[in-house]
Amino acid sequence: MSIKNILIEMKNMSELMVDLAYSAVLFNSKDAAEEVLKLENKVNSMNYEIKKESLVAARSYEDAEKLTALLEVAEAAESIANAAKDLADLVITGFKPHPVFKMVMSESDKMIVRVSVELDSDLANKTLGELLLVNRTGMRVIAIRRGDSWIYGPDKNTLILPDDTLLLKGTEAGADLLEKLASGACSLEDISDELEEDED
């Protein structure tokens, strides 16, 4: 991976980790916390990669000065990631949530949910443009984990595949719907029916 791509990944991952980590604590979600820990390992190894690449790339003092800036940015990204990991660790080790978390949660009303797309799910093999999840469920896909790699800020052309792990942000009601859709327990048609009934 090029230095450029490592840096983009470190930025995206550390931002996602902060989002996920707060969500993990406020909703006491081990799911979200586990994703944070996975991402943290990746950020650490990318910081190591960027150090190696930089040392090899430096040819002059001028190079070195610019590469120093790069290393400092990577270091800060790792610090952000570490702080997010500290938050996630609280959830993993089983902390006693302060009652105020529930209050913060209900005011922010945005939660992050992680779902795994089953083979017979209605989400599989469709693009986000076809699925219109925001309209249908109020949930927005913020990232997709496919095996060991991540897709950030997916757009309407992004195709969902079976076995993808989706991270979505939205309301608690939408999170329930998404879990049913991803597991194949209900179809897009079922949801449209439900919405129509609600409107009656």
Spell out, one character per residue from 108 to 137, where the chain touches its own copies: x when CB under 8 A holds, - when not.
Answer: x-----------------------------
Considering only the stretches 3-11, 40-48, 158-166, 183-191, report the one whose residues sit in contact with its own copies under the rule CB under 8 A.
3-11
Residue 99 in contact with its own copies, rule: CB under 8 A:
yes
Query: Which of 181, 175, 186 minimizes the C-alpha distance to 27?
Result: 175
Query: Which of 173, 182, 129 minimizes the C-alpha distance to 154?
Result: 129
For its own copies, how many residues bind (rule: CB under 8 A)? Answer: 42
Query: Which of 79, 10, 61, 65 minimizes the C-alpha distance to 39?
Result: 10
Query: Which of 38, 26, 31, 21 minimizes the C-alpha distance to 80?
Result: 21
Residue 1 in contact with its own copies, rule: CB under 8 A:
no
Spell out, one character per residue from 23 to 62, where the chain touches its own copies: x when CB under 8 A holds, - when not.
Answer: --x-------------------------------------
Tell the smallest beta-carbon distance from residue 81 to its own copies (Å).
Answer: 9
Residue 3 in contact with its own copies, rule: CB under 8 A:
yes
Query: Distances from the Cα of 192 to the Cαs of 120, 128, 137, 138, in angstroms?
Result: 18, 17, 10, 13
Residue of the chain from 37, 58, 90, 134 that contacts its own copies (CB under 8 A): 90
Q: Whole-angstrom Cα distance, residue 146 to residue 142?
A: 13
- Residue 138's contacts (CB-CB under 8 Å, 6 or more residues apart) are 170, 171, 173, 174
3-state SS, one letter per residue, for 132-189: CHHHHHCCEEEEEEECCEEEECCCCCCEECCCCEEEEEECHHHHHHHHHHHHCCCCHH
Residue 104 in contact with its own copies, rule: CB under 8 A:
yes
Considering only the stretches 73-81, 124-132, 169-177, 188-196, report the one whose residues sit in contact with its own copies under the rule CB under 8 A.
73-81
Tell the smallest beta-carbon distance from residue 131 to its own copies (Å).
Answer: 23
The residues of the shown chain that bind its own copies, judged by CB under 8 A, are 3-4, 7-8, 11, 14-15, 18-19, 21-22, 25, 65-70, 72-73, 75-77, 79-80, 82-84, 86-87, 90, 95-101, 103-104, 107-108
